[in-house]
Amino acid sequence: MTTVVETPQILSDAEITQFWEQGYLLVRGAISREEAAHYRDHILDLIPRNLALPDHWHSAAGRIKPMRTAKDHTFDTPELLPLWANEKLYHVAAQLLESTRLRVMDGSLGITLRNDSDRDRALSQTLHIDASVPTDVDQFLFSLAEVQIGGCFYFTDVLPDGGGIHVVPGGHRIVEEEARATPQGRHLHQNWKRITHLESVEVTGEAGDFALLHHLMPHGASHNRRSTPRVAQFLRWVREDQPHGAGRAPAPGRYGARQLEAAGPLGRKLLGAEPW
């Protein structure tokens, strides 16, 4: 039986209920609007002034995904690592996962520019899930320890049709129901990367908010019909004892001195560079 740990109660009982019933939650004011503007500008400054995007960056339908290398989308630079160590979001994750011993990961970035094409489609990609469960596993465990929660910082105000992340309210429960109906539940819908039978809604929010999703939540990027680009960073949290190994510590030497200093005491534990 899981023991509920003592952690600051950031979320109300109603918000906790909403997350487990709906599969998502907008955490308001995870950072200030001033901090959001700072990170927005930093990420936009990654785009070359001549707009000649590197070949290894992803760009489709107005959505730009910067890449560190062709196979690495993780931006865990000293400039961005304070976001990984955000105390409010850590306590939210600890409250939901009922453990203070967590890991943080992902770190990908997204810049969504205005796109006037594809007017008949709200989404710029197919609904999918980003589960912490390997694709060589045939079935989910459906346990709390397996759950990954994650989502994205909004560094800009995201109004309707502004490129907000799309989710399926209650979709994580639909995924569980469908997956439990077959021993090969992990592999439905092309390993849940092409979910075409569900309808989604856009999660809007203000600069500084964080859209938080259950790991079985079908979601997808949407077209931005507005002049303001949507700028975001994606992060995920798992328990240290995550049964598929997502919570294991990184290889020694993964993080340099500047990264570890920027992460701070909490961030170093979340990264696995120091023990809990």
The CATH number linked to 87 is 2.60.120.620
Mean pLDDT estimate for the chain: 96
Would you say residue 221 lies in a domain?
A: no
In this structure, the dihedral spanned by the alpha carbons of residues 124, 223, 66 and 165, taken in order and rounded to 10 degrees, is: -90
Residue 220 lies in a domain: no
Q: Is residue 196 part of a domain?
A: no
33-91 pLDDT per residue, tens: 999 999 999 999 999 999 999 999 999 999 999 999 999 999 999 999 999 999 999 99
Does residue 1 register a pLDDT over 90?
Answer: no
Q: What is the pLDDT of residues 153-175, one digit of tens each?
A: 999 999 999 999 999 999 999 99
Please tell me the total count of domains within the chain.
1
Question: Is pTM beyond 0.85 here?
Answer: yes
Q: Is residue 88 part of a domain?
A: yes
Residue 186 within a domain: no
CA atoms within 13 A on the CB side of 273: 20
- Angle at which helix 87-97 crosses helix 13-22, to 10 degrees, equals 70
What is the pLDDT at residue 8?
84
Q: Residue 172 and residue 165: Cα distance in Å, rounded?
A: 15
Which pLDDT belongs to residue 156?
98
pLDDT tens readout for residues 205-216: 999 999 999 999
Task: Indicate the pLDDT class of residue 4, thresholds 50, 70 and 90.
Answer: very low
What is the span of the domain harbouring residue 208? 17-117+144-166+201-214+227-271
Q: What is the predicted pLDDT for the residue at 2? A: 42
Is residue 24 included in any domain, yes or no?
Answer: yes
Q: Which of the four pLDDT bands, split at 50, 70 and 90, describes residue 6? A: low
Note the pLDDT of residue 271.
Answer: 97
Model confidence at 98, in pLDDT bands (50, 70, 90)? Answer: very high
**131 domain residue, yes or no:** no
Which residues are CB-neighbours of 135 under 8 A, at least 6 positions away? 186, 187, 191
